[in-house]
Homo-oligomer: A and B are copies of this chain.
Amino acid sequence: MHQQPTYVVLLLFFLPCPPISLNFILECGVDQEQCELDRGVNAEAYILAGPRSELAFDPKQCKAAIVTCGGLCPGLNTVIREVVMCLRFQYGVDETYGVCAGYRGFLDPTSWVYLDESLVKNLHNQGGSILGSSRGGHDTIEIVNSLEAQGVNLLFVVGGDGTVRGAAKIAEEVKRRGLAIAVAVIPKTIDNDVPLLDRTFGFETAVDVARDAIEVANVEAEGFPNGLGVVKVMGRNSGFIAMHAALGSCVADLVLVPEVDFFLDGPGGIVDHLFERISTNGKAVVVVAEGAGQQLMQDMDAAGRKEKKDESGNVQLNDVGPWLCKKLKSGLDDRLKETSKHGDGLTLKYVDPSYMVRGIPPSTADNLYCLQLAHNAVHGAMAGMTNFLVASINTRECYVPIDLVANKRNVIDTSHQSMWEYVVFSTGQPSFQMNRDAEDDGDIATTASGGIILPS
């Protein structure tokens, strides 16, 4: 109840774009100067996505390649389908090849798959990626060599943060060599953690399954004395899946995400909170993102753990699920036995849906979003744009230069006036920020049920 009410001013200008030359040069960019000249305001402008009146390529001489990299995500197959369909039926580009098993597939052109209509037409109902995927395997020079040798002039890359950086390197090398190859990126991350973007494809589908897991955990928690359901969901660096699924399920008592540090014991800790909930309601449900509590795990169990890295150089996360279960069992079991009517301890049920949130076909909304992204990627590439990604920004489909989003990661905004506030209110969970609260919110009393009673 503490933030200042505010207005939102939304200005939407549609500026004319400079004509695209058939001579290949275009780099997608943000025309800051143009904005300022035209309107006298300081603002960011993104190029509106869509088909262009002039093309940089002769469709009859185009050869396209598409590659999917990194983890699977609902909608990958739809993106493949729609890139092929748009190239074929809107532009008459018949030669589109699927590069297998991620970036490494460029090194083995004999494994490329010719993507004709019959092969892709039912893909929108299939989970996974028919091209396969992999991590790592990026070798910029070899990839551009391969593109050049095969005569590819349209490259579509679907992948996450590392993949996007790789695509930028390819575009740079292409430019350095003076080649006429357009590099378009369709960003993919099931964690929905790309800055600027409204959302990433597959996210809603994943949230739906994560919610199923939370509801099952709630059923189990309700089904036994002093039941506690713990659900781990994806989210290495950001807790969007946890947040959305928990809110959509309406049953979570605690949501732990990488963005918010928490602690176990003592006043304001999660053990006290859950003890109170189980004592009051007979059960509680915890949703934890896989990246939550990493620091805490290291601090508490320093001896037994050390940082490991996988082949791509990513830090391997410690598994927060079983760790948390163990801590909650030991923190709650005896306390509940002492206070329960029948001397019951804790009944803990752990659910880890793991790949079940991402190995499924996309929802209709995600299918449609994939279609938009894929078509816009094709439109941009055919118009001679390169080194760009397609995105929905403030509900508009746009083209964005890769370097605007590469190396950045979106996280949950935990400030006031954000969706995170719904989590705090709906779960009634502690803020884990005792000091700040003590200063700022001295007049706010948290109720037993976790809500806030306002001063009358």
Residues of A within 8 A of B (CB): 1-17, 20, 31, 34-35, 39-41, 43-48, 50-53, 55, 58-60, 72, 78, 81, 85-86, 88-92, 101, 104, 108, 121-122, 124-130, 132-134, 198, 204, 207-208, 211-213, 215-217, 219-220, 222-225, 244-245, 247-250, 341-342, 349-356, 359-360, 363-365, 367-368, 371-372, 375, 383, 393-396, 398, 416-417, 419, 421-422, 425-426, 428, 447, 449-454, 456
Contact = CB atoms under 8 A, between A and B. Distances in A.
B1 A52 contact: yes
A104 B342 contact: yes
Contacts of A363: 204, 208, 363
Given A6-B14, A10-B396, 20 more contacts: A5-B16, A6-B47, A7-B13, A7-B16, A7-B46, A8-B46, A40-B41, A50-B417, A50-B421, A58-B456, A91-B452, A121-B250, A126-B219, A128-B219, A132-B223, A132-B224, A133-B224, A198-B395, A207-B365, A365-B365
26 contacts: A5-B17, A6-B15, A6-B16, A8-B393, A8-B398, A10-B45, A48-B417, A59-B453, A59-B456, A81-B250, A89-B449, A92-B451, A132-B222, A134-B225, A204-B364, A204-B365, A207-B364, A212-B360, A216-B360, A217-B359, A219-B355, A247-B367, A250-B367, A351-B356, A365-B365, A394-B395
Task: Say how many copies of this protein the assembly contains.
Answer: 4
A178 to B, nearest CB: 23
A85 B3 contact: no
A89 B451 contact: yes
A142 to B, nearest CB: 13
Contacts of A92: 447, 451, 453-454
Contacts of A59: 453-454, 456
Contact of A454 (B7, B55, B354): B55
B220 A359 contact: yes
Contacts of A55: 1, 454
A81 B249 CA distance: 12
Nearest to A133: B223
Given A364-B208, A367-B250, A45 B9 contact: yes
A216 to B, nearest CB: 3
Given A60-B456, A132-B225, A249-B364, A216 B127 contact: yes
A371 B52 contact: no
A216 B356 contact: yes
B47 A7 contact: yes
B364 A211 contact: yes
B89 A428 contact: yes
A400 to B, nearest CB: 11
Contact of A250 (B13, B124, B359): B124
Ranked 9 nearest A-B pairs via Cβ = A89-B451, A216-B359, A5-B17, A248-B364, A11-B11, A9-B13, A128-B219, A7-B15, A219-B359
A45 B8 contact: yes
A101 B1 contact: no
A12 B5 contact: no
Nearest to A450: B89
A406 B142 CA distance: 60
B396 A359 contact: no
A93 to B, nearest CB: 10
B355 A217 contact: yes
A8 B396 contact: yes
Contacts of A40: 40-41
Contacts of A428: 89
Contacts of A2: 53
A133 B222 CA distance: 9
A211 B365 CA distance: 10
